[in-house]
Structure 1
């Protein structure tokens, strides 16, 4: 699937580049026009594409970020828990930090893991009909399962990204799905 960031949702501290496929934290960006879809306080951005079926995508990250999915009506303003990916019942996320991955949903953090080999590339497999959302650490020669959430998804889910590190970035990668990697 080919995903792109939605500039209307991008917080003013995020700079979008590469055809809206890279988001970097940039304190000097600012100046974006107000928009009802924009995250006002949290350095987050959603993709334009809402997903209702099965989809797989990969993201490379640097610094520190959360990679996840959310319903489109996640709060864009207000208290932190209602806005941040993984901190409410409307979103699921994987925190990506130096050496560790930590899944979270509804403000509950699950067991952190540090896969070998460690990579700054994450694969996300969403299967809405089956009610699963899986995260993988993807390297040249391996695809290590990190966590699977199970839920009943009732609306389209939007890939979302919280770039919390001051030097952080996320980039949507173009991939061809290799089902054999998922089955190992």
Structure 2
């Protein structure tokens, strides 16, 4: 039933777009004919031997009216396909959950914390089958001190960042002018998953290409998702905003403070999950990633972000080599 409705909407939109195109074609054809007639009259005047006749007729000769700016055809792919995209995103989440121990209830052993080194407080969260599946690609990440804005303070072996009003000492040229910090790790292939605990709303989580600007270029407080080089999820008090290339999609608010980010470079997917009380898909970006991707974050004054670590989670060999080269 849903498929038939979507196909009907697509067919209706196609018919409307074709009707617009045919109307514009007839309009342009009429304008071309008027231009051809005008050119023919000019040629006749140029061949006129009588100067008086030339002057009289040239004064009454008027060119065709200007076309003005051409408006593009109205075609909104999200209108007929928006519901279908949302349905497919939810279906992907359900299939992942079903693939991992379908029907298995959470037991006492599934209520363990996501561990982090002292003095970080472990974040308890029930481990549903989907989350356990995502853990197969878990990465223990750290913040990059060099990239941190001067109001952002790192602690706990660079796993935690806090925004304070008092700025630090002058920072280098690689630090963000905005209230942002990126991770020390970057991903170029494979599938990777990590979890972030937020102290409150008014934070942005995302990924970016290395050339993401360190400077403030516009009116926004962050640049994650504002251009073509980054993708971001902004957690607000009353809603969630998914940003990419300056376009935004408003999503319902979330209640938990623990989020998961799943990056699949082979499929070209970046998926965000709310993990409290169990894993729930928030949004998926689809893109053809062509460069290495770096996790990046923005946080308002007074906020704290924590990169949660899991015991036994290891980086892929290529990332281990890169980390050794940087140290």
Deviations 1:6-65 (A, max 9, x none): 01100001011111111111121321432x32112x100000100122100010112321
Alignment of 1:122 with 2:259, yes or no, is yes
Alignment of 1:171 with 2:306, yes or no, is yes
Alignment of 1:150 with 2:286, yes or no, is yes
Note the C-alpha offset of 1:113: 1.5
Distance in 2 of aligned mates of 1:111 and 1:98: 12
Instruction: Choose from 192, 198, 203 the match for 1:55.
Output: 192
Distance in 2 of aligned mates of 1:86 and 1:66: 10
Distance in 1 of aligned mates of 2:273 and 2:282: 5
SS in 2 for 1:112: strand
1:181 maps to none
1:136 maps to 273
Instruction: Note the residue ranges of structure 1 that are not aligned, 5 or more in a row.
Output: 178-184
Distance in 2 of aligned mates of 1:134 and 1:84: 19
Distance in 1 of aligned mates of 2:162 and 2:239: 20
Distance in 2 of aligned mates of 1:23 and 1:145: 25
- Whose Rg is larger? 2
Stretch moving more, 144-153 or 23-32:
23-32
Structural mapping, 1:65-144, within 5 Å: 65-80=203-218, 84-115=223-254, 118-139=255-276, 141-144=277-280
Note the C-alpha offset of 1:111: 2.4
Distance in 2 of aligned mates of 1:48 and 1:32: 20
SS in 2 for 1:15: strand
Query: Do the aligned residues in 2 keep the contact of 1:58 with 1:175 (CA within 8 Å)?
Result: no
The TM-score, its normalising length taken from structure 1, stands at 0.86
The TM-score, its normalising length taken from structure 2, stands at 0.50
Distance in 1 of aligned mates of 2:280 and 2:214: 33
Instruction: Choose from 27, 38, 45 the match for 2:165.
Output: 27
Note the C-alpha offset of 1:98: 2.5
* Alignment coverage as a number of residue pairs: 171
Note the C-alpha offset of 1:99: 4.8
Distance in 1 of aligned mates of 2:271 and 2:191: 11
Query: Do the aligned residues in 1 keep the contact of 2:237 with 2:253 (CA within 8 Å)?
Result: no
Instruction: Choose from 31, 36, 43 the match for 2:179.
Output: 43
Query: Which ranges of 4 or more aligned residues in structure 1 deviate by more than 4 Å?
Result: none
Distance in 2 of aligned mates of 1:127 and 1:67: 16
Distance in 2 of aligned mates of 1:89 and 1:175: 32
Note the aligned Cα RMSD (angstroms).
2.0
Distance in 2 of aligned mates of 1:127 and 1:19: 27
Distance in 2 of aligned mates of 1:86 and 1:56: 19
Greater share of helix = 2
